[in-house]
Amino acid sequence: MSPTLALATAARVLRQLRHDHRTMALLIVAPCVLMGLLAWIYQNTPVFDRIGAPLLGMFPFLVMFLVTSIATLRERQSGTLERLLAMPLGKADLLAGYALAFGLVATVQAIIVGSFAIFVLGLDVAGQAWLLLVVAVVDCLLGTALGLFLSAFAATEFQAVQFLPAFVLPQFLLCGLLVPRESLPDVLRYASDVLPLSYAVDAMRTITVDADGTAEVLGDVGVVLAFVVALIALGAATLRRRTP
Amino acid sequence: MMKAGSDGDPAIRVAGLRVVRGKRTVIDGLTLDIPAGQVVGLLGPSGCGKTTLMRCVVGVQKVAAGTVEVFGLAAGTAPLRHRIGYLTQDPSVYSDLTIVENLRYFASVVGVPRSGLDAEIARVLELVDLGDHADSTVANLSGGQTSRVSLGAALVGTPELLVLDEPTVGLDPVLRRDLWAIFRRLAEAGATLLISSHVMDEAVRCDRLLLMRAGTILADDTLDGVLAATGAPDVEQAFLTLVDRASGRVSAGDEGAPSRGAQSGGVPSGGAHARHLAASPGATSSEEDQ
């Protein structure tokens, strides 16, 4: 892998985003509005404090999954991917470039949305607030990695968008946000044990309720990062220079 | 700067190439050499396998059998990727970036050092005559301008081999002439150019012709050689003659007749400035009639 090429790719992806003001605005404003809505719905109840932080990790995951799937598919359909693969660009350079660019965007998103939730909406966080940021960025990388990997199997935009209900919503249902994972039927609990989003939500939950849970949080972050690495490796394996 | 092997070594060597796309065998047992330092025209109707052959040369096509070598190395291997410029048939650039941003990225990828980026971008912009639009977003350009951005992206870094898939299609005649002048200059500087077209009148611009149909090479010769061998007045007629010969459906009396009849307007599609074989009624009817 070449750091120069990965950075050049990340810079190019960021330039594309910079030209797209509406997407940039939506990336920041939409999560803030949703958090505000949530706080409003659950005013005078402890629910917002319970699910606010996990959702803070969910936004970058969902958004980056979608953005990455579409971006990769566009790269494939516009022929730029074919051009790049004929050029001296490593597959890892391309994937790392995307991950870097979206990771940076997610950091900005997490700082703004997190600050809004804590300082404006009054989200209670028992643990270290900076950990929220770490988990949010790792969640973003998870979304990016899953999107990079799955987009290899999408032939059209319609299919790519359908991967959200197919591969993301089941994780959402089983991650412990609706029903605590301990209370799930056995089979579903085992399933939730092997899904990366469960660990992301566990980490966020621990930060909000446990002041001394840093080690536990970092353990969960490690699991999510392992998923990220595995998915990127799979993505590199499914990205073929030679196509039929 | 550009060294394409010692004299006589072909730039591209294809042997026993077979390519299957989907359920269709697009190329079956193709063998040919492409000399270095020349402008080689790959001409044939759309769907005949030109793009597939070019993808093989560049190394992005899955190959069922046979070998493709470029500069003595297996096509698609890492050391070759710095040396080949590839223009895909449809413009392949980022429509949401400006021209300069596109060129900057592709130049970085081929390894133009950071200090030389600006000069390289300026050089390519001038080559493809887009200096006035440098900071326009590609989405706001015309189709012809977008094609030229895509061509520019293939020219960055001064590759030794340029594989250009229909670079002049849809461009205005003045621009086409200018582009062919650029291709000529690049070849004079030592580059090898493999240029596909389905417009037969571009043959006169090439040093050598490969006439292709249905995955096979009908002729591999200079323009004069092709015309002499077929007795045809132009490439299109030569192509038809070769198709008829290959299918064995031509009688001795018919062969060569067009060359004598052509001047008096005996060729059905004669006279058109740019004739597209795929759309030419002559190409299909001559097959069925005989």
- The per-residue pLDDT of chain A, averaged, comes to 90
Nearest to B97 among A16, A240, A242 (CB): A16
A63 touches A27 (CB < 8 A): yes
**Residue the block writes with tokens 């390894």:** B111
- Phi, psi torsion values for B85, nearest 5 degrees: -105, 130
Q: CA angle at residue B157 from A79 to B113, to 5 degrees?
A: 110
Task: Please report the pLDDT score of residue A235 as a whole number.
Answer: 87
Q: Give the model confidence (pLDDT) of A141-191 as tens digits.
A: 999 999 989 988 888 888 888 998 999 999 999 998 888 898 999 999 999
Interface residues of chain A, partner chain B, Cβ below 8 Å? 4-5, 8-9, 11-12, 15-16, 19-20, 78-80, 82-89, 240-244
The structure tokens 């009639």 sit at B289
B167 contacts chain A (CB < 8 A)? no
- Residues B60, B51: Cα–Cα separation, whole Å: 11
* pLDDT at residue A125 in the model: 86
Question: A105: number of CA atoms within 13 Å, CB side?
Answer: 32
Mean pLDDT over A81-103 rounds to 91
The confidence score (pLDDT) of residue B7 equals 54
**Span A103-120, pLDDT tens digits:** 899 889 989 998 999 999
More confident residue, A39 or B259: A39
| DSSP code, position B108 | H
Q: Per the CB < 8 Å rule, is A82 touching B110?
A: no
Q: What's the pLDDT band for B202 if we cut at 50, 70, 90?
A: confident
Tens of pLDDT along B61-81? Answer: 999 999 999 999 999 899 999
Span B9-44, pLDDT tens digits: 899 999 999 999 988 999 999 999 999 999 999 999
Whether residue A10 is predicted with pLDDT greater than 80 in this model: the reply is yes
From B20, B92, B108, residue closest to A83, measured CB to CB: B92
- Is the model's pLDDT at A40 over the cut of 90? yes
Of A4, A79, A240, the CB nearest to B88: A79
- Looking at residues A84-100, what average pLDDT do you find? 91
H helices within chain B, ranges in order? 50-58, 99-109, 117-127, 143-155, 173-188, 223-230, 235-246, 257-261, 281-289
pLDDT value of position B250: 56
Label residue B249 by pLDDT band (50, 70, 90).
low
pTM attached to this predicted model = 0.84
Amino acid at A168: V
Residue B191: per-residue pLDDT: 94
Q: Do A78 and B95 touch (CB under 8 A)?
A: yes
Whether residue B63 and residue A82 make contact (CB cut-off 8 A), yes or no, is no
pLDDT of B259 reads: 41
Band (A51; pLDDT cuts 50, 70, 90): confident
User: How many CA atoms within 13 Å lie on the side-chain side of A38?
Assistant: 23
Name the more confident of B270 and B123. B123
Q: Which of A27, A47, A49, A51 is nearest to A110 (CA)?
A: A27
ipTM given for this complex: 0.87
